[in-house]
């Protein structure tokens, strides 16, 4: 994959995450909806899209795929309650740290070995938190 494509895809993801954050903060911070219904709507709409994608690609879920929705539910519910309790900067800091820490832990669990520079960067991030 070309460097330009990676940068463009990363920008799209970052814009999507920022947009999601703004919409969630607007709905939950303004008390227009509660965390539980908000989470239910998010997960139901995501499930509908995944079902459509499976129908189009003829994909079939495997048994271990059923743990992932439960993990997503816990994440989404914590995210929704966090928006009610935390300011935008604090919430964003915790959210991005939690996501990065989870991805890093998953990779290490799978056998990936971090370089010395990656360990230093991870340590700096932890100190920053």
Chunked mean pLDDT (size 10), the chain, 129 residues? 91 87 81 86 84 82 71 80 75 77 87 90 83
CA distance 42 to 88: 20
- Provide the pLDDT for residue 117: 92
- Provide the pLDDT for residue 63: 64
- Provide the pLDDT for residue 9: 92
Q: How many CB atoms lie within 10 A of CB 55?
A: 9
Q: Contact 73/43 with Cβ under 8 angstroms?
A: yes
Q: How many CB atoms lie within 10 A of CB 38?
A: 22
Q: CA triplet 96, 54, 61: central angle to 5 degrees?
A: 75
Domain boundaries defined on the chain: 3-128
CA distance 4 to 56: 29
Quick check: helix, strand or coil at residue 60?
coil
Taking the mean position of all CA atoms in its chain, how far away is CA 68? 12
- Provide the pLDDT for residue 8: 94
- Provide the pLDDT for residue 88: 67
Which residue, chain included where needed, has tokens 């139901």? 44
């Amino acid at each position: 994959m070309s460097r330009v494509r990676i940068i463009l895809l990363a920008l799209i993801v970052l814009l999507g995450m920022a947009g999601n954050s703004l919409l969630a903060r607007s709905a939950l911070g303004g008390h227009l909806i509660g965390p539980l219904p908000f989470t239910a709507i998010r997960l139901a709409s995501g499930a509908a899209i995944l079902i459509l994608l499976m129908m189009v690609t003829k994909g079939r879920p495997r048994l271990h795929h059923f743990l992932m929705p439960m993990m997503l539910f816990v994440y989404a519910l914590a995210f929704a309650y966090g928006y009610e309790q935390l300011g935008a900067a604090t919430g964003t800091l915790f959210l991005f740290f939690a996501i990065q820490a989870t991805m890093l832990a998953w990779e290490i669990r799978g056998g990936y070995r971090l370089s010395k520079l990656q360990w230093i960067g991870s340590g700096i991030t932890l100190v920053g938190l």
